């Protein structure tokens, strides 16, 4: 029987089932292995990932979706688009040169890094200043040939398209949006892409997956012109290559214009498109000469699909596009690899989970059903699992539902306005001019990680572990006092991750055993799973904060993670609205905030670093998202008295997009990332009269390089050009968990010295 429905994958997770890839990177960075050993191990992991997809029966398997750090950085390195400060090359970059761009050196700050669309993955931002593009390495051909030779796989090379590459980058510190700049850069890049495609064609490559995710951000047909120019050029120079033009994360608005592009298949997201891609197809149709690569499985969450529903969707799509590839909505980079290590969790949850491997298996079942093969047992098993989860008591807590329904205006407002609060807080806290602090976390040393691992494995008693954590808190309180910081933190040594930790403490959350996902480079996070109604069980952070405060006369901040960041960095139940889940979390955290205040903590930081990253890709969906974010933050924070100072922290944000929302949060102090983007974010505050207190991060904690006192001083002075000195706080960009103790002590000592210099100059003036 002819199979009219085939399967495809857009990308496979890089980490390895037990984070082997992470361990490989870090071994190389510690100089424990050389380049040759690294390459042997990396190849073994690449081939293992391909073998699994082959065994699962994927028709079109992606190749070159692997990376040694980040796929955008890979493209930059292949095309000699590395920032000018790292040099220009006429050969492929060595590993050390490649990692220097990502991680920085003693002399050069690393390339900027920001979130990949509305995910928690960070990509390396291209810098197009003074670059001389040329093809240094056809990595797509290398990895295609590797798969062909080793496993006889005729893979589908995955390459980031030139227009999206341009739009994801910057010129003179500003993202590329002007049509003239896009066209100029496109003229430089197209011949290089042409070389890649011609070499692929000569080798016998059949299909190329050309990712152009920025297509979903367009609103008008004329914006499609550079993409059409790109597709026409590649078709002309490599006519034997079949191109699947791949989009994801939302719908395409200029649908007709995109459908006319000279490509052989178009990939559409039918999960995160708000139903709009299907509506377009039903109203406009789909080209009969193209294959529809239908993203019908959620590649951004971990719940099993309703397979009967997906079969029906596929059959509906077949009425408009007879040739269909079934695939995830986006690369599986954003989900863990396999559920096989999670069998210890409740059966009603376990059987309803689908990580990357399970999602690929789901595609196979749906394809078989649509190809008239008998999959009755699989469909029945799927329905039983979904029904068991739907009816589980943990999804129907009457008290939680009642509290959400009882929310009223009093739970969304502080008792007094900011100016009244500010005077009360200034009298209570007695902080100096330009107060210094940190964002919250201190280095998670090898000793800290080893102690935690031993405790989790039952090799260390609760008492012994708590004693160790207390000793680290005390040691770092003393270090902060010695450095001279004005507002201290306890260091968060008990937390592996700012979201995972709260997920372990709140009802309705599940901490997976091996559900790791890449955030950036070797940095892996293990997002908690929100499986049921969320409720407060017991104090979460109070004991550590109170202990730290007992050690010093200086104020110690209580540290909690805000609702939107928790939900954006978690895998969220999909049977109720996200806004409802946010409010459940907010009501639980409100109890924690009140308990901290009652215990004598005078400053409470409610971190919301993921606020901007979660913005919908289409502006028309922003307001509902932002309104829900503000509501949840206020539910969390507005119960405290006027003298309690509420802080929040945000990072990797284009703040001009959300400046009104930042104001509406009504936090007393906000700290934001600015150093890595070299102060560009400060420009958002040049156009806005921001009246509350603010800490503009003055050094980049993601780089191993420690800035000089003069550099930090310059960053402070840059901030003071747009912020009233009476409102200004001095702090690093983000938490210091990933840095070494030596780096942190040197950096904070220089930060304090830089602040003191600025204060002295201000006094002299």
Point out the residues that are catalytic.
702
The answer to whether 135 and 81 have CB atoms below 8 angstroms apart is: no
Tell me which residue of 243, 248, 238 sits closest to 263, measured CA to CA.
243
The answer to whether 442 and 493 have CB atoms below 8 angstroms apart is: yes
Long-range contacts of 589-592 (CB under 8 A, 24+ apart): 589/502, 589/536, 589/560, 589/562, 589/563, 589/636, 590/411, 590/635, 590/636, 590/637, 590/639, 591/536, 592/536, 592/539, 592/540, 592/541, 592/542, 592/560
Pairwise CA distance, residues 15 & 757, whole Å:
45
Residue partners of 83: CB distance under 8 A and separation at least 6: 101, 108, 111, 127, 129
Q: Binding site: what residues are annotated? A: 19-22, 115, 439-441, 492, 569, 607, 613, 649, 651, 673, 734
Pairwise CA distance, residues 455 & 538, whole Å:
21
Got the DSSP string for 689-704? ---SEEEE--S-TTSS
Kindly state the DSSP code that residue 120 receives in the 8-state scheme: S
Pairwise CA distance, residues 207 & 241, whole Å:
6
Q: Binding site for L-homocysteine: what residues are annotated? A: 439-441, 492, 607
Report H helices in 204-355. Answer: 225-237, 255-259, 276-284, 307-318, 347-350
| CA 631 distance to own-chain centroid | 23
- Give the tokens for residue 294: 């239908």
Pairwise CA distance, residues 675 & 487, whole Å:
21
Pairwise CA distance, residues 466 & 623, whole Å:
44
Interior angle at CA 235, CA 232 and CA 241, nearest 5:
150
Phi, psi of 267 (to 5 degrees): -95, 125
Q: How many CB atoms lie within 10 A of CB 315?
A: 14
CA distances 662 to 83, 667, 733, Å, are 32, 8, 17
Sign for the pseudo-dihedral over CA of 660, 662, 664, 670: negative
Q: Binding site for Zn(2+): what residues are annotated? A: 649, 651, 673, 734
Which helix (H) or strand (E) segment holds residue 209: the answer is strand 207-211
Helix axes 307-318, 356-370, angle to 10 degrees: 50
Tell me which residue of 354, 295, 361 sits closest to 58, measured CA to CA.
361
Phi, psi of 609 (to 5 degrees): -65, -20
The answer to whether 330 and 363 have CB atoms below 8 angstroms apart is: no
Long-range contacts of 23-32 (CB under 8 A, 24+ apart): 25/68, 25/69, 25/521, 25/522, 26/522, 28/95, 28/99, 29/99, 29/103, 29/522
């Amino acid at each position: 029987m002819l199979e009219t429905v085939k399967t495809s994958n857009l990308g496979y997770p890089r980490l390895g089932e037990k984070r082997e890839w992470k361990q490989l990177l870090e071994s190389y960075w510690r100089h424990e292995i050389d380049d040759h050993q690294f390459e042997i191990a990396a190849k073994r992991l690449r081939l293992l990932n391909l073998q699994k997809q082959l065994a699962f029966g994927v028709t079109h398997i992606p190749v070159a979706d692997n990376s040694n750090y980040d796929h955008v950085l890979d493209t930059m390195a292949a095309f000699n688009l590395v920032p000018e400060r790292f040099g220009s090359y006429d050969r492929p970059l060595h590993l050390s040169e490649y990692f220097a761009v990502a991680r920085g050196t003693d002399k050069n700050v690393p390339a900027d890094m920001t979130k990949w669309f509305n995910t928690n993955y960070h990509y390396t931002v291209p810098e197009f200043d003074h670059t001389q593009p040329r093809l240094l390495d056809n990595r797509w051909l290398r990895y295609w040939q590797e798969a062909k030779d080793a496993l006889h796989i005729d893979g589908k090379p995955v390459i980031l398209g030139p227009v999206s590459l341009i739009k994801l980058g910057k010129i003179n510190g500003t993202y590329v949006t002007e049509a003239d700049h896009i066209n100029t850069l496109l003229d430089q890049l197209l011949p290089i892409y042409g070389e890649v495609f011609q070499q692929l064609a000569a080798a016998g490559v059949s299909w190329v997956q050309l990712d152009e995710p920025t297509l979903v951000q367009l609103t008008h047909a004329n914006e499609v012109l550079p993409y059409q120019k790109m597709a026409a050029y590649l078709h002309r120079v490599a006519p034997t290559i079949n191109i699947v033009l791949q989009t994801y994360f939302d719908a395409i608005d200029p649908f007709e214009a995109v459908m006319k592009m000279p490509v052989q298949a178009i990939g559409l997201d039918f999960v995160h498109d708000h139903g709009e891609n299907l509506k377009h197809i039903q109203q406009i149709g789909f080209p009969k000469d193209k294959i529809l690569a239908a993203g019908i499985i959620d590649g951004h969450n971990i719940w099993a699909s309703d397979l009967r529903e997906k079969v029906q969707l596929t059959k509906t799509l077949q009425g408009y596009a007879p040739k269909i590839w079934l695939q995830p909505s986006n690369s599986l980079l954003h989900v863990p690899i396999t559920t096989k290590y999670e069998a210890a969790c409740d059966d009603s949850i376990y059987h309803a989970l689908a990580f990357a491997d399970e999602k690929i298996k789901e595609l196979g079942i749906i394809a078989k059903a649509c190809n008239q093969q008998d999959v009755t047992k699989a469909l029945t098993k799927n329905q039983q699992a979904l029904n068991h989860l739907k009816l589980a008591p943990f999804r129907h807590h009457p008290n939680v539902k009642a509290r959400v329904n009882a929310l009223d205006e009093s739970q969304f407002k502080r008792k007094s306005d900011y100016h009244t609060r500010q005077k009360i807080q200034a009298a209570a806290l007695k902080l100096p001019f330009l107060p210094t602090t940190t964002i919250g976390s201190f280095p998670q040393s090898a000793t800290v990680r080893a102690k935690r691992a031993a405790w989790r494995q039952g090799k260390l008693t609760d008492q012994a572990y708590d004693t160790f954590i207390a000793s680290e808190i005390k040691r770092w309180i003393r270090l902060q006092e010695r450095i001279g910081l004005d507002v201290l933190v306890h260091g968060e040594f008990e937390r592996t991750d700012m979201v995972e930790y709260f997920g372990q403490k709140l009802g309705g959350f599940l901490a997976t055993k091996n559900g790791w996902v890449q955030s950036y480079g070797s940095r892996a996070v293990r997002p908690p799973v929100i499986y049921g109604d969320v409720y407060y069980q017991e104090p979460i952070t109070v004991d550590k904060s109170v202990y730290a405060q007992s050690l010093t006369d200086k104020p110690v901040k209580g540290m909690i993670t805000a609702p939107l960041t928790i939900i954006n960095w978690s895998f969220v139940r999909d049977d109720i609205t996200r806004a409802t889940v946010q409010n459940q979390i907010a009501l639980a955290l409100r109890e924690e905030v009140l308990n901290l205040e009652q215990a004598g903590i005078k400053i409470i930081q409610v971190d919301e670093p993921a606020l901007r990253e979660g913005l919908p890709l289409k502006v028309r969906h922003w307001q509902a998202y932002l309104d829900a974010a503000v509501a949840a933050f206020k539910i969390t924070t507005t119960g405290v008295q006027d003298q309690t100072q509420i802080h929040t922290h945000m990072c990797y944000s284009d703040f001009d997009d959300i400046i009104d929302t930042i104001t509406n949060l009504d936090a007393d102090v906000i700290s934001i990332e600015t150093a890595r983007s070299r102060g560009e974010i400060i420009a958002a505050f040049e156009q806005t009269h921001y009246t509350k207190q603010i800490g503009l991060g003055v050094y980049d904690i993601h780089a191993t390089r420690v800035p000089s006192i003069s550099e930090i001083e310059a960053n402070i002075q840059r901030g003071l050009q747009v912020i009233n000195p009476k409102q200004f706080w001095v702090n690093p960009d983000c938490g210091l968990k990933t840095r070494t103790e030596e780096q942190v002590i040197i950096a904070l000592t220089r930060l304090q010295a830089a602040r003191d210099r600025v204060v002295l100059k201000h006094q002299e003036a």
